[in-house]
Amino acid sequence: MPKGYIIGHITVTDPDGYPEYVRRDTPILKSHGARFIVRGGRSETREGAAQDRHVVIEFDSFEAAKAAYEDPDYQEVAEIRRRCADSTIILVKGHDE
């Protein structure tokens, strides 16, 4: 079965408030089997416009990624991110060979 991913592209607008989101989202996402593949770190934009921070979270399936994102507890915490950052969040089904 293909993996599922949540991919986030984020520009933090409130650096004092954003760490609270990171602290609180991690246990919720991990309870759905999340594995953080990329979480910030160095990046280089080679084409197009990009935000400052990139996150890739792997799950056992697309359905698990969707369940994590739709979890009411996560959605409550996501309000912190929405207040403290401009972000694009994408759910992606992994390639099935």
Amino acid identity of residue 1, one-letter, is M
21: domain CATH number is 3.30.70.100
Q: Which domain holds residue 74?
A: 4-44+51-93
DSSP for residue 96: -
Contacts of 34 (CB under 8 A, 6+ apart): 6, 57, 58, 59, 68
d(CA 60, CA 18): 27
Domains in the chain, number = 1
H or E stretch at 22 = helix 18-30
pTM for the structure as a whole: 0.92
Q: What is the CA radius of gyration of the chain?
A: 13
Q: What is the pLDDT along the chain (97 residues), one digit of tens a residue?
A: 899 999 999 999 999 999 999 999 999 999 999 999 999 889 999 999 889 999 999 999 999 999 999 999 999 999 999 999 999 999 999 998 6
